[in-house]
Amino acid sequence: MDLKINKRKGNSETCKRKGKRVQQQTFDLLDEIVWEILIRLPVESLARFRTVSKAWLAIISDPSFVPAHLQCSKQKQHQNPSSFLISPRFLMEPGRAKALSTNIYQWCLQKDMRSTATLLYGRNFSVGEFQAVSPMAHCDGLILLPTNTKVYVFNPATKDALALPESQRNLSWRHKCLPAGLGLDTSTGKYKVARSFYRCRDYDPKQIITMGMEVFTINGEHGYWRETLVDPPYPILNSQTATHFKGYLFYFINKNNQQHPPQGLLRFSLLDETFGVTPLLPNMYPTVEDESIFVNVLDGELCASFFSKLLQRILVCTTTHVVDPEWTCRYIINVEEHCYPMTSLGSGGILLRGGNCLLGYNLKAHTVEEGEIFDMDDIRYLGPSEDTLGHAWEDVSFFDVISYTESLVPVTPKANSRAL
């Protein structure tokens, strides 16, 4: 009997251990399923699901959740590039020097060019906080807003925001926005803001401008601007926002008073914080000046669009290499006015921006599709005291439109736990 009793007891303990393993495996499987579901949800939904259970909160708060969610957002935007941010810049009281509004609207493009624009992030800046604003930049869900006084970085999905500290290095052109850019240092996983500044106090139109560069690391060890060890080899054209691609920022060069300026873009590495020049297409005929060239990222490649007023054409070229690029002609677009491509639409179409209009261009028919013209002046925007309908603003200075990928990437420390 003792032997039988001991044997049964052993079987019972074995069954309990097996049951616990099965139960643990079931829990692990459920967690994996929940993980795969959550990383595919928009940020607004994740904000609600954080309160469902402690287990879901733990999953969303896991540091590895942010890059996994970002990767899914990038894949969705690449497969269906329909999400954009529109920011109309206007004075709150037209004709008077009052507060400037920079509300951010998420705009979802549909196949028939119908759309809905939803207020995603709103902020009214106080009088005198700044007088000039440069175009926004976007990187992994973070938005860079350069002004002539400060630089702002924010995540419109989480409402996490940061005003970067002031710097005393710039000696001139204080009324204008300094050239700035936002990008990812892949070696550290940190996002950096780079801003150039003027070393000369007095502007001499006959002299070559000397400039320096400073870098601010978001959520870095130091909360201040660091000057780079080397200066830009060429001055940067003022009041421009850099294009980010594969850990590099690209700027147009100020060619004033230079005998043999390079025919290319100034390249700044966010990894080692050094400079180089990325050549553009040589020996173009007719010659295209820099003001008729637009540089952005198109379908995951660095894109340079050359507009010829004489030929009434845009030559759209792309490359995947930045140091020694091999430019490939992707499209030749027939247009009368300067436009540039924003994204491919599929089925032989491409979305162009010209002035305040977005155009659906048919690459096979070589023409703008009838009924696929979206005029941003027709959008009705929400004012500070309005709820839903809004009205058309008459004093819009200009529109920012950029492709947008939603993310949970934090701007301030511990933003994941409090921003949602």
Q: What is the predicted pLDDT for the residue at 137?
A: 96
The 3 state secondary structure assigned to the chain is CHHHHHHHHHHHHHHHHHHHHHHHHHHHHHHHHHHHHHCCCCHHHHHHHCCCCHHHHHHHHCCCHHHHHHHHHHHHHHHCCCEEEEEEEEECCCCCCCCEECCEEEEEECCCCCEEEEEEECCECCCCCCCCECCCEEECCEEEEEECCCEEEEECCCCEEEECCCCCCCCCCCCCCCCEEEEEECCCCEEEEEEEEECCCCCCCCCCCCEEEEEEECCCCCCCCEECCCCCCCCECCCCECEEECCEEEECECCCCCCCCCCEEEEEECCCCCEEEEECCCCCCCCCCHHHEEEEEECCEEEEEEEECCCCEEEEEEECCCCCCCCEEEEEEECCCCCEEEEEEECCEEEEEECCEEEEEECCCCEEEEEEEEEHHHCCECCCCCCCCCECCCCEEEEEEEECCCCCCCCCCCHHHHCC
Q: What is the predicted pLDDT for the residue at 409?
A: 95
Q: What is the predicted pLDDT for the residue at 126?
A: 67
Q: What is the predicted pLDDT for the residue at 257?
A: 81
Q: What is the predicted pLDDT for the residue at 418?
A: 46
Q: What is the predicted pLDDT for the residue at 112?
A: 55
**Mean pLDDT for back-to-back runs of 10 residues, the chain (420 residues):** 41 51 50 89 89 86 93 89 80 51 77 66 71 89 91 92 91 83 96 94 75 95 92 92 97 88 95 96 78 93 93 93 93 90 85 88 85 72 50 65 93 62
Q: What is the predicted pLDDT for the residue at 392?
A: 54
Q: What is the predicted pLDDT for the residue at 129?
A: 74
Question: Nearest 5°: CA angle at 46, between 40 and 52?
Answer: 120
Q: What is the pLDDT of residues 35-76, one digit of tens each?
A: 899 999 999 899 888 888 888 888 898 889 999 999 999 998
Write down the pTM of the prediction: 0.86
Q: What is the predicted pLDDT for the residue at 396?
A: 67
Q: What is the predicted pLDDT for the residue at 379?
A: 67
**For helices 2-38 and 65-79, angle between their N-to-C axes, nearest 10 degrees:** 50
Q: What is the pLDDT of residues 83-132, one digit of tens each?
A: 888 887 765 554 454 456 677 888 887 665 556 677 788 776 666 677 77
